[in-house]
Structure 1
Amino acid sequence: MLGAVRGSMGIDSRPMRTRIMQAQQSDGRRGFPTYAAVMVAGLLCAGAALGIAPAMAPAAEVAVAATDTVTAVVQPNSTWSSGWCGAIAVRNDGSRGVSPATVSFTLPAGATVRNVWNAEAATSGTRVTLGLPGGAHAPPAGAYSASGFCLTGSPAPPTAPGFTLAEGGAAVAAAPAPGTASTPVDGTAPTASPTPTATAAETPSSTAVPTPPPPFTAVATPLSTQGSSIVDAEGRPIVLQGVNWFGFETHNHAPHGLWSRDYKDMLAQIKSLGFNTIRLPFSLEALQSTSTTGIEYSNGRNAELAGRTPQEVMDIIIDEAGRQGLMIILDNHSQTDDGFMDDLWFGQGGFSEADWVAAWEALASRYADRPNVVAADLKNEPHGSATWGTGSATDWRRAAELAGNAVLAKAPDWLIIVEGIENKVAGGQQLNSHWWGGNLEGVRANPVRLSTPGRVVYSPHEYGPGVHAQPWFSSPQMASILADRWNKGFGYISDGGTAPILVGEFGGRDVGLDTVEGRWMRQFADYLGQHGTSWTFWSWNPNSGDTGGVLADDWKTVNADKMALLTSLQKRERIDFGGITDASSPPASSSTSAAATPAPPPATEPATESDPAPTSVAAPPAQSAGGLQVSVRPESSWDTGGCRATKVKNVTKAPIGNWTLTFTLAPGTTMTSSWNGTAAVAGASVTVTPPAWAAQVAPGQEVAVFGFCFSGGGEPTDVRATPVG
């Protein structure tokens, strides 16, 4: 696990001696000592014991605390006018391993802790104690070096460092005092050495966190959710419209195409074509790596990426994307390089679930202050043995809650993107088959629950026959089948106001009306536009074997037909896809969205459960209910329970606000989960306070609001909405 955490933070995981011998290198991007230099600063007092002559004196701001065998170092590794970020290293020169428990220090005047990684911070006045993770361990002649922190409010360093060991060692005070140079145990003064800038041929240096974020004004972030919408920091709905730029998840450990172009030029072209978001796939293995391939440096191209680790390349691309007005979704595509075929989030290449969560925590800590990093797509396309709602080790809903809450503890403003699975979900479903990661029918009975409200976004992937010849692509009623599948498979989530949808991947080679793939893609683009659904197209890259990309093989020319379709989608224009041919469905020219009224699926569609007809619960007369009527619709049903969704309509000519929903549970029935409202249960009576976005109902408006699941066979009774005050 420690190895995964270290790699996730971009810290060089080669043997300690190698890091020490490279201490003279510097980070050419920022002009301060590398992490290796941080380690050397802490080892000056132990240089003779290691048999290594000290290469450079510690900077004046280095804070050191030491015993005879253990040395703790706190040193800035990025600074700016109002703060800095520092790394912690605990070096063990003894004959047995030690487990550091805490590192402490005193804040400079005016400073506060902005964020930490791989540690928990406790502050008492100006004294800060960082509790290190339980697995922190420094082996004999080794070190623990995976934690750090950032301060804001002062460029000055901390003072009076100290540390404790898990085996009960007393707190160790600072020695020497901050602001003075350390002297090696042999009594000789260290000799300062120049720090040349790393080149592409040198081993990449690593830093704990990026420098302060560049300004980002394209969108008022952070984003959050309100019902079916993603909204900006001012509550305005926003549609994410982006592309997938892959490569970090491959053995190259960097976005593809940089062998042909400069990364700034690539980002500028993405922005110029009207996209506002990039979904950036990565592997856990890439985060641990110290090297990249497939980047061209001739003629000044990609100069800032030379000598960087994959994590540092990600830093630079994220920051440049922010400067150019592009938001970033981080997507854990696989555990190992090129491992996108694996079905689960653990078990590949020796990575455990704990490693996966730790990697996400590290990324959240690293990019929490990047205003253009807006979301974490936790796992690409769970499938195969992945389950939903079972509570087992393979329960993707359980794992998404675990990782999602861990991310929000470090980056509370991020959206948490949760994909579906492939096979059957607990609680029943209406469709028999789904794409990998596409089965989100489990949300009906078992929605994802996070510690922070307004953060969940569900994300299906949708493809055409170029990826797999699903049976509906050969049906003459394909358009009706597709509309029905999209409504039942994921559309119900946003249509019912449960949460927004972001389609993380869709794409293909053909977009014309003369091919099945083209008609599918045009219909799906029309569906997305008419529903105001967010999306990221697969892919920007031309080297996706079964779909191609926005770019042609020269990595510069734009595929004009694809881009014309995507431009219409960006503008939410109606897109001709040949219409729905079923007699029972509206014609393509109708003002009603073709996806809104699907015809029953034909016999060629895989058997599905019937969509239950809406069931209205009689509302009290308008005058006795204060002008609000309620309808209840079954979302799903099974032998021992079901899920229900409610809609509330204002039948008066005046706005109504501050209302509550009440109902009575049938005898022997318990409510097991709910969404879009806060429920208070007293015996069989349930009182629901609606979410803020639904608190006011305009004249004639109907809002899809509270939903719930229950166990037991009875339907709720006496369902009514009543104005308050």
Structure 2
Amino acid sequence: MTQRLRTAGGALLSLLALLVSMLAAASPAHAAVGLRVSGTDIVEANGSTFLMRGVSHPHAWYASQTTSSLAGIKSLGANVVRVVLSGGRWPANNAADVANVVAQCKANRLICVLENHDTTGYGEQSGAVTLDAAVNYWISVQSALTGQENYVVINIGNEPFGNNAVTPNWTQATTSAVTRMRNAGFQHLLMVDAPNWGQDWGFTMRDTAASVFNADPQHNTVFSIHMYGVFDTAAEINAYLDAFRTARLPLVIGEFGDMHSDGNPDEDTIMAQARARGVGYIGWSWSGNGGGVEYLDMVTNFNAASLTPWGQRIFNGADGIKQTSREAAIFGGTTPDTTPPTRPGTPTASAVTSSGATLSWTASTDAGGSGLAGYDVYREQGATDTRLGQSTTNSITLTGLTPSTQYQVYVRARDGAGNVSPDSALVTFTTTAGGGGGGTCTVNATTQSQWGNGYVVEVKVTNTGTAGITGWTVKFTLPPGHTLSNAWNAQTTVSGQSVTARNVSYNGTLAPNASASFGFQASRPDGDTKVPTDYTCS
């Protein structure tokens, strides 16, 4: 967000039930000091997982409020504060100022995410600077940051691209910035924001994040998505989070609000999914907003005792900061649980059909936690990368399987601290032949929304036969140059331009005349107005 703001822009164990195409070991922690990436998590020097729960403070514009603001933010339960800095687009924050900010964060037992706001909206907003210029700023204040790797995350540039195409593009510019930071000797955890005012509606960061991550010789870069009007539905939020989970890349929600001029973000889903998935979040912002978005202030006039509705929601609401925040271990937080759960019992397969099966097993135990662990489930053949469920369980239902196919499923236990059972339990089963129950179906597709290079379609499947069906498959072709971005209420596979959508567990059984719907989002070249038209159902 800019000062006047822009238009776009434990105690309990948790389940992590994940289906991936091959059983893959978690990425090891790399040779980095202080805060660092380990798999999809951020961990501290002692290996304790650090889950960000905090807010942004506009220090660059309200430096006189910083002392009281950091104390207030801490008093309401946050474990991290994201601090707005400037190298000259606004009053510059020099090395002495930055050192003072870091000292105040430490005094308040807050991890400090420092961000350079000068890059906001580059290519679209006057006065914005490049990521290369942002790196120059960080080098100019490096003396204040060296040795603070346990306490500081460097967010290289806030929302570094607007919606206009620029050269070099986000992927190239971000890769270069990360490389320059490492060459300059920065050992810190780096954070990089998405383009499109941080909202990545064009999916550039989503699709190229792996190349940026791999360009960091320390593999110590976390990606930040800002969720405002682009993320106004649960489907959009889950699809984006799913993409990074499937790619096994670290992601935080670096900004979000409860409303915005470009649409109404679904903050309930954002916060609930962040908690369920173990994703960090930082809300925007403490106080001082202007330009018509004063509703994003969490407190009135920087007063921690005067919470606004948004402040009440993020600090005291369901899945909020007070409920989910844990102080960093370096400040004396809880000693990390390093005891892995036991191996779960051997699964049994029941209710096996041509397209699904139910698996159940004896619960694992966890001496380091509350006794019942969550589970990672890996399916080998014919899988799609989809996570099931969000709570501790010892039973799951698989859907979208191929008829007459043998599957091997590995079940491992994972506790709330991220410890994984030393071995897994295996079940093998074969799906039955055949398809549905003898009915026939028709398809009605409606284009719900369109924009310059994308669209959303709702597809309604109706059983027009005289007998019930227990599964359906819809096939269609994307026009040349179109790509499927995400889908909901269906399992999809793509081969070239051909898309096959199959029912999921809860919408495949249709009585005569009954209907089920699924939807998908696709991207297309600018100026292209075509949408798929050749839907078939079986």
| TM-score normalized with structure 1 length | 0.38
Higher relative contact order (CA 8 A, sep 6+): 2
Who wins on radius of gyration, i.e. which is larger? 1
